Structure 1
Amino acid sequence: MTVVLVDLTSAELAQRWPSMIALFADAMVENYGVSPAEAAAEAERQTDELLPAGVHTAGQLLRKGMDGDDEVGFLWISLPGTTYDTMAWIAEVSVRADRRSRGYGSAMLRAGEADLVERGVRRVGLHVFGVNTGARRLYRRLGYQVLAQLRTRPVGAPQTTVELEPMSEPEYAARLSEVVERHPVALTRDPLAPAARAREVARVLAPQGVDSPNVFLRHAVSGGRPVGWIWFSLPGPHRPGTGAIHYLTIDEPYRRRGLGRALLAAAEAEYARHDVGRLGLWIAGPDAGRFADALGLEVSSEQLVKDL
């Protein structure tokens, strides 16, 4: 089998557009628990934002996979400098329903990777929803490794021994500096990104610092003592229905006492007060994965990466 990637025309993109939106929207409904109408509107908004000039959008490669005269699928790759500065990003790979289980998905990915190498790109990443177990297995077989995961669960009514207290702007600045110096990948989700990139992400997530709307930057207090901190936000357009915990940590002297679990429960209680349906925790690294497993947080989505 030899699969060749051929650029889409504007007419072909227009024909494919409804199925692209539907595929994205269906995944959001299944993973984020939003209504089909909300998911369709958000899928349309995000895709419009990524492709303002359609097939002529700079840095976006929209190709159909051809096996001879047979169109077998679709591959969309964003070049470095669009989604990520340090790597290309596979925005979508799909195989025609009647051509699946024949190796075409692997063949299109390999063809796309070969094209990236010719362009001088040495790293590529992608996103996959947790329920798409077949695709997750495929990407691992092809050498992709987990970069970060969004773990989620429904919001309950937890009991907690940790209280959340507001931070001052100087206190937030000091805590953010610790993250930038020691664990920038928690914000960048890219180990090759410079530490300064973590500050750029922080400005996007909390543009007004401690006064940012729908953002909670809080001390964790137990027994009257500050024992750590947490950064979380209410649902936004990219993940409607799911609140995101961007960062949490317990300070070294207080670890291994169950306070991490209690801190997450405190954030969960805040979500319950705001009628948020699901909580999400971004994790990177095996220790964070074990913590998420112990809390019953399922893989909602994951970002994978491969060196070419």
Structure 2
Amino acid sequence: MNIAHLQNFVRIVEAGSLSRAADIIGIVQPALSRQVRSLECEFGVELLTRHGAGVSPTPAGEALAAAIRRLLGDLQSAREIVHAIEHEPAGLVTVGAPSSLAEAFFPPLFARLRTRHPRIRLRLLDELSNPLLQRTMRGEIDIAILHRDRSLERLKGVDFLEEPLGLVGEPGALGALESVSPGALQELPILAPTAPNRSRIAVESMIGSLESQLVAEVECLPALLSILARGEGFAILSYSAAARAIARGELGFRPIEGPAIVRRMVLVRAGENRPTAAAAAVERELRGLAVDMASEMRWTPSIATDASGGR
């Protein structure tokens, strides 16, 4: 079985079109079609469904694509393990983070790795939490920063950091208050992500439903921060989610009085295998950044434990 043909099959599934995949790979479409037919003969099942918009994987094709991704990851790991015996960590590492943490972590992570581990190539993904979890479970992401909860039991997760949530809004709208009470929150126009969202669940478990004062549900963090900077509402966010806008004076942050509303984040690795040298190096740098930026971002870095709370 030809490894290149397996790689090309994954590219077809991701592109959703034989012609687009052929352009990406750099071969003619008939040759790519022959590769698919060869795989279908090899496995004895139909792998793709053809339709007007392109192609879609059959259930068997979806399962094969997932298996190929794992296989290719294992092959890459083998190459890196062999290479690392005599050389520094090298290879591709895919890191995923929710939008609220991506801006804080990704630029300094890139800078550190360029200096300390120039042979590591990063692929950085900014995703909503649920798609990020699903992609990690499929083996598409090597290291993900995720909310700590029971859905991580199938993955290798270690505690990473905690951060309090507070009220974010235009400084003039926030006024001179140093903090805000849960009762005062009930009177404010609130923008929030669509439920179910783990941060929203954490907020509503502490102060009650936001439905009565919800003026918009916004999934795009840059758009949300832009709306808030125009003084058109408030949001309950972590400090790090708005840190850059706060530093520019466009937004302000006020702690919420009473028991802290905290979100707990974990570092999750895909698969059961030992991480590659490159992935382990990236994880160390992420932990170092969490410590180094803790004061600036109001984080509490965690001592590593598994995602269910064990050491």
How would you bin the TM-score normalised by the shorter chain?
A: under 0.3
Larger Rg: 2
TM-score (norm 1): 0.27
TM-score (norm 2): 0.27
Q: Which has more strand, going by share of residues? A: 1
